Amino acid sequence: SWCRTDWIGGSYSHALPGHAGARAVLARPVGDRLFFAGEATHQSDFSTAHGAWESGLRAADQVAAVLTPS
C-alpha cells in the first residue's frame, strides 16, 4: 500500500509559502549529465501524477537534445 511504504507515507510535495519558485531550481539539469523529473519539479501541476508524467517528458527531451548531434 502506498500509504504504508517506508519513506512515502502517502505523501506528496508541497512548497513552503513564498518558495514555489524553487521548483524551477529542482528541475534544472546539472551540466549535460544529470537530469531531474518528478511532480515536485513541475511548475504548475506539482503534487499530481500528470505533473510527474509531463516532467518526465521534459527531462527526456532535455536528454535527447544533448544526445542528438547538431
Write the DSSP assignment of 33-64 as a string of letters: TB---SGGG-SSSTTSHHHHHHHHHHHHHHHH
- The string of pLDDT tens digits covering residues 7-22 is 776 667 788 898 888 9
What's the pLDDT band for 64 if we cut at 50, 70, 90? very high
- The string of pLDDT tens digits covering residues 21-50 is 899 999 999 999 999 999 999 999 988 999
Which is higher by pLDDT, 48 or 59? Answer: 59
Which is higher by pLDDT, 4 or 54? Answer: 54
Domain boundaries, the chain: 12-67
CATH class of 12-67: mainly alpha
